Amino acid sequence: MTTTTGAVTAAPSAARSGGSRQLAGTGTLLRFALRRDRVLIPVWVAVNALMVLSMPNTLRGLYGTAAERADLARQMETNASLRAMVGPLFDDGLGALTAWRVGVYAAALAAVTSLLIVVRHTRDEEESGRQEVVASGMVGRRAALTAALLAAAVANGVLALLVAVGLAGQGAVGAVALGLGIAGVGMLFATMAAIAAQLTESARLARGLTAGVLGAAFVLRAAGDSTTDDGASVLTWLSPLGWLENLRAFAGERWWVTALIGGAVVAQGVVAYALAGRRDLGRSFLPTRPGPAAGCLGTAGALAWRLQRGAVLGWSAGFLLAGVVYGRLTEGAADLVGDNAQARRIVERMGGQAGLTDAFVSAMVGMLGLVAALYVVASVLRLSGEETSGRAEPVLAGAVGRLRWAAGHLVVAFGGAALLMLLAGAGFAAGHGRDAGAILAACLVQLPAVWVIGGAAVLLHGVLPRGAVAAWGVAGAVLLLGWIGPALDVPQSVLDVSPFGHLPKLPGGEMSLPPVLVLVLIAAVLVAVGLTALRRRDLTT
């Protein structure tokens, strides 16, 4: 009896002990993760928060009277294309307008940040072999996953706090709801990335799968909102971004939607933890297929394309689709702006002083150029990933020089950016139905500025390999200037800090070659300096 009692009472103790061992070292790993992301997290949180918090003043300038806001709400009921782009409008207050205008985009940005954080500190670490070294110490089986999710929670929690405090003047309850909704969507994709990291052996594939779900969420929400003006479509409810929309911040909050988001986060977290406990370190539930017995990649460029082709194809499809959507919205640009002089001035400042339709096309093409800068940074930094993971070392140990190895990835990065803008132009022309040549020219003229951002990433990788992640900060600052700078009436001297501020405003504007050639020269110099530094320094291992 005593023995039986002892066995029974010892079982919970053993379970508790086993549970604590599973999480041993979490605090240390969390501090390490936050230290590694001391640039990424603050930059992206600041960009996201500033985008949201700047919007009330912008909207106050655009729609300063109740009559103007009511007129906008009436337009939204009949403009299916605009609803597909930004969602339905549930109230005409400044707070509701802010949630309508940037809520979905802020949530998407939080989702991207979260998935990058989680994959970086889970599957990336296993793929590079660093997690095996860490696991040899007193570190629990689930400590790395827990630390990664906590790092994402810190980023999303700070963002939620900034949004709630910054928009409290528009209504404290609505501000809290919007902050929690954006952070909740971010954590939803963080736990989704945690599941993808258990299913795949490749960090690249884990990021791609999660980003693919995010893209599908965008498409589902857009398709649903184009059919109804109240967010009640089944397609909208199938999208996590649609959940945020139906939270209705500043418009009679539906708090039960936050419970839906929270429940999904917990459920996905449970699945991720269960999967993490059932696999060996470095393994996955969806193993990568073995390659052919005899290798068929004869050049460094072919290897670079093989590694990055999935990303290129995914980005290409997205740019083509975005071009079609923006092209279809072009004809309604005049109706959207109407007689609002301030809105017209903002569009013309973004797109040039030509006719409103040309200015709208130029502004949207410029936005696609800014997004292409994110692609080129991600593609260039693949060099850094290959180097730090140790995969570059055996390649360079053969008859492949550093410049040839780097050149393969840079051709994919810079050439891929050209492909993206070309496909965006083709989609824009298809959606717009005319002026194909002018629109293609407007898209391609964005490339010199995109290449300058890529050149900055090459420079950072060559000169400061451990700080190459700062290239994301450069891209984020440029995106912020181009996205909300004109709406905030930022001085032109500040906008000119961005290379995009020096491009000709096409279509409709005058084509000027000197600034284009100067930007191409700057990009070439940045790349040359970066490659020279890469050739002379030691590899990062």
pLDDT, one tens digit per residue, over 215-225 is 888 878 887 88
Check residues 18 and 144 and name the one with the higher pLDDT. 144
The pLDDT tens digits for 36-48 are 888 888 888 988 8
CA distance 3 to 9: 10
Amino acid in position 540? T
Mean pLDDT for the chain? 82
Q: Do you find a cis peptide bond into 465, omega within 30 degrees of 0? A: no
What are the pLDDT digits (tens) for 290-341?
A: 666 666 667 888 888 888 888 888 888 888 888 887 777 776 555 555 555 5
Burial of 296 (0-12, 13-18, 19+ CB in 10 A): exposed
Report pLDDT for 3. Answer: 39
> Could you tell me if 315 and 276 lie in one domain?
no
> In which domain, by residue range, is 259 found?
18-283
Does one domain contain both 370 and 308? Answer: yes
User: What pLDDT does residue 530 have?
Assistant: 94
Per the CB < 8 A criterion, the answer to whether 457 and 381 are in contact is yes
Domain annotation covers residue 442: yes
Do 360 and 275 fall within a single domain?
no
Residues of the chain with pLDDT > 90: what percent? 29
pLDDT band at 168 (very low <50, low <70, confident <90, very high): very high
Do 495 and 501 contact (CB within 8 A), yes or no? yes
What is the total count of domains within the chain? Answer: 2
Q: Do 118 and 156 fall within a single domain?
A: yes
| 425 and 451 inside one domain | yes
Shared domain check, 259 and 128 = yes
Same domain, 416 and 311: yes
Regarding whether 388 and 273 lie in a shared domain, the answer is no
Percent of the chain surpassing pLDDT 70: 84
Outline where 381-446 has alpha helix (H).
Answer: 382-389, 392-396, 402-432, 436-444
440 lies in the same domain as 530: yes
Is pLDDT of 21 > 80?
Answer: no
Most confident among 211-215, 265-269, 305-309 (mean pLDDT):
265-269
More confident residue, 288 or 352: 288
Return the DSSP state at 465.
G
What pLDDT is stored for residue 149 in this prediction? 94
Q: State the Cα angle at 105 between 97 and 247, rounded to 5°.
A: 60
- Alpha-carbon distance of 478 to 472, in angstroms, equals 10
266 plus 159 within the same structural domain: yes
Determine, yes or no, domain membership for 8.
no
Residue 235 near residue 228, CB atoms below 8 Å: no
End-to-end CA distance of the chain: 59
Q: What is the mean pLDDT of residues 154-159?
A: 95
The average pLDDT across 184-190 equals 95
Tell me: pLDDT of 441 over 80.
yes
In 3-state terms, what secondary structure has residue 253? coil
Residue 454 pLDDT level (bands cut at 50, 70, 90): very high
